[in-house]
Structure formats: structure tokens, C-alpha cells
Amino acid sequence: MATSDKILAAIASQSDALCSLSRRIHANPELRFAEHQAAAWLGAAVEAAGVPVERNVAGMATAFRARIGRPGGARVAILAEYDALPEIGHACGHNLIATGALGAFLGLAAVRDDLPGEVLLLGTPAEEGGGGKIKLIDAGAFEGLDAAMMFHPFDRDLLAHGALASEWLTFAFTGKPSHAAGAPWDGNSALSGVIQTFNLIDSQRVHFRDGSRVHGFITNGGQAVNIIPEHAACQFSVRATETGYLGVLVEQVLGCARAAALATRTTLHVSREKGYADMRNNMSLARAFGRHLSAQGRAPAEGDDTVGQGSTDMGDVSHVVPAIHPYLGICEKNASMCHQHDFVKHAGSDRGMEAMLAAARAMALTAEEVLRDGALRSAARAEFDAARR
């Protein structure tokens, strides 16, 4: 039997177990950095295949790493995410990402003695804010890799789709409290600072580059109706199609908050939280993945500019190693999108499981091809180097 057939047979033999684990994670959503059950279940499945699991990677209790194959050759990482969202649960389908990566790894584990290189399974916590992959990058987990891959559930099959560079800004305004009816002239409203920040940002939108996103909400709007608000705050997510332009956009937004403070005679405290880098899809690898997906009867598009973009810490990975983040549909086109209530249902559906298994097969065969095919590795590396310039 050819190696690829052995890989596919191994995934087939595991498919029931993969689906039931995916449904178990789906039914037990855990928030970023607290994915203790999911990480334990995934690790146990790897150990059951006779592969040791390293836990607490990069100082994160819910990160893990396993490796198979031969050191010294090419190296590929397959990434699992498993965090859920507050209140709406697995509305991003990370339960499918988790078992898709596990399935690919177990398929490759069945031929581990024949692999001409090394395959890593990386359990990456906290994609929904927190950036587990960034901590793994900082800890050197992506050094010396030829490729990194994961898949994400969606409403259609796409080999490559952008993700926006992002940063979070929190603006805390401090004013001067006063009786709102008896002596409003003695007060300065922190809430006015917040409201004018929103208005000024809206006034600048026309100047933003295409594809930029600046969206916020009020986290503190005041304390009581009869007090001129002393404290008020808001938070913004600032996103741009390229990390280079993000800095320009952040400055523009900071200027709006500073101007609001000036006009409302309030003081401003800014806290910045680094977000994620934009996604650089490696098309050499994405097309290889696409061939393996098409061979299963799916018809992925290379890209689709009509759909919106989010942000992911896989973007940061794509800046340090050739990487792909293809999407597989788990529902009809436009039926539902990530982070919507309906998407939760699709993430636990039979169609979701089918997409997860298809992704597992295509990732396993792509990883094997990367290990075996030096020309593919060179093409991916050349593309990666060109994007960095």
C-alpha cells in the first residue's frame, strides 16, 4: 500500500472517534487559556496512538506539542485550536479545527517510520484574543519549520483568505463630577469624551484605506443619571489589511481620542494591546492542499474577495514560517458566518464533521508532500521570502 493510502486508511479507522471527540469539545466550550478539558482529551488521543505529549508549552497550561518522524529532515507543524467564545460557545468551530489537526496527525502517525522528516502537532490556546500562537512563536516553537498549517470552518471552501492585522485600544476618560441639574457648569463629562471619540473616528473613516476596520463599544458610560460622569471608557479594535499600515491607522484613532479629551476638558488614559498580524497565505502550499482537497471531490475556490475578513494569530505564524489557513464550508454559502448563533449548530453538525475529516485528510497528505518534495519546499520558501521584502 502506498504511504498516502496508509494515511487515509488510518484516518478512516479513526473517523468515529474524531467526530465524537469533536462533538464532546463542542458540547463543553471552554474560554481562552482555560481549555483544560479539550487540551487533555486531545493529548490523551495522541498518547493512545503511542506518541508522547509535551504539555505546558511556552508557559501555557493548555498548550501542548507532540512530534513524530525523523529529526534532521524537513519539518511541518499542524496546528490545533480549541477555545470557544463567551456566551455563544463554539461559534467559530474550533472543535472542528482541533480534531481536524488531530486526525491529520494520527494519519501521519500510522506511517511515522516511513516519514522522511518530522511532523509536529501543536496545541495552540486562545485564538479568540490572547494569542497563544504568539507566545509559542516567542518561545521558539516555530523555529526551523518548513510549513505550518491548520484549517478553519466557514460557509464555503477557500484555499486562501486574508486576515486583518489588529490592535486593541482602550480609552479611559476622567472628567469632573458635578450635579447634572444643579451645577452642570462645574463638571466635565468623561462620557462626552467617549462619545466625541466615536464621532471623530467616524469623521475620519472616509480617509481609511480600503479594507480597514475600526469598531468599538462603550465599556463604561457613567455612574448615575444625576452626576456628570467622572469616569467613562471605550474599547476599539483597529484592523488593517497590512501590519505596516496598521500603525498609521492606530495613530489616526489615537488622535481622535486625544482631540476628544481636549475638547471635553477631560483627561485620557490609553492602553494598547497588541493584536494579530495580517495573514500571508503561502500559495504554493495552499495549492498543494487544494489538490488533495479536490481529489476528495470538493471544489475549493482559491480566494473570494466578497467575504469579509477577521483576524487570527495564524497571521503571526505566517510571518515567521510559510503557512496556510484554508477554509472549509460546514453550511450553505451565506447561510451563517463565524461568531453567529447558527454557526454553533453547524460546528456540531454531520456536515461539520465531514468537512473536518476532509481537512484532516488534505492536511495529512499536504504535510507528507512537503516532507517528501524538496521543490515544493523551495517554492514555498521563495514565496515566503518574497513576501517579507
| Binding stretches for Zn ion (CB under 5 A) | 92
- With contact defined as beta carbons under 8 Å apart, do 367 and 149 qualify? yes
In whole angstroms, how close is the CB of 338 to Zn ion at the nearest point?
A: 6
Non-local CB neighbours of 29 within 8 Å, separated by 6+ positions: 84, 85, 89, 90
Nearest CB to Zn ion, comparing residues 4 and 312: 312
In whole angstroms, how close is the CB of 342 to Zn ion at the nearest point?
A: 15
Nearest CB to Zn ion, comparing residues 92 and 355: 92
Of 90, 99, 105, 85, give the one whose Cα is nearest residue 39: 99
In whole angstroms, how close is the CB of 91 to Zn ion at the nearest point?
A: 9
Nearest CB to Zn ion, comparing residues 41 and 154: 154
- With contact defined as beta carbons under 8 Å apart, do 37 and 65 qualify? no
Of 167, 159, 145, 362, give the one whose Cα is nearest residue 251: 167
In whole angstroms, how close is the CB of 97 to Zn ion at the nearest point?
A: 7
In whole angstroms, how close is the CB of 276 to Zn ion at the nearest point?
A: 11
Distances (CA, A) of 103 to 19, 69, 92, 364, 372: 10, 16, 19, 8, 20
Of 367, 335, 287, give the one whose Cα is nearest residue 153: 335
Nearest CB to Zn ion, comparing residues 92 and 344: 92
Pairing mode of beta strands 323-324, 147-149: parallel
Nearest CB to Zn ion, comparing residues 82 and 198: 82
In whole angstroms, how close is the CB of 151 to Zn ion at the nearest point?
A: 11
- With contact defined as beta carbons under 8 Å apart, do 36 and 62 qualify? yes
Nearest CB to Zn ion, comparing residues 67 and 90: 90
In whole angstroms, how close is the CB of 356 to Zn ion at the nearest point?
A: 14
Count the alpha carbons within 13 Å of 142 in the hemisphere toward its beta carbon.
23
Nearest CB to Zn ion, comparing residues 92 and 380: 92
Query: b/e map of 37-53 (b: 16 or more CB within 10 Å)?
Result: ebbebbbebbeebebeb
Please identify the residue of the shown chain whose CB is closest to the bound Zn ion: 92
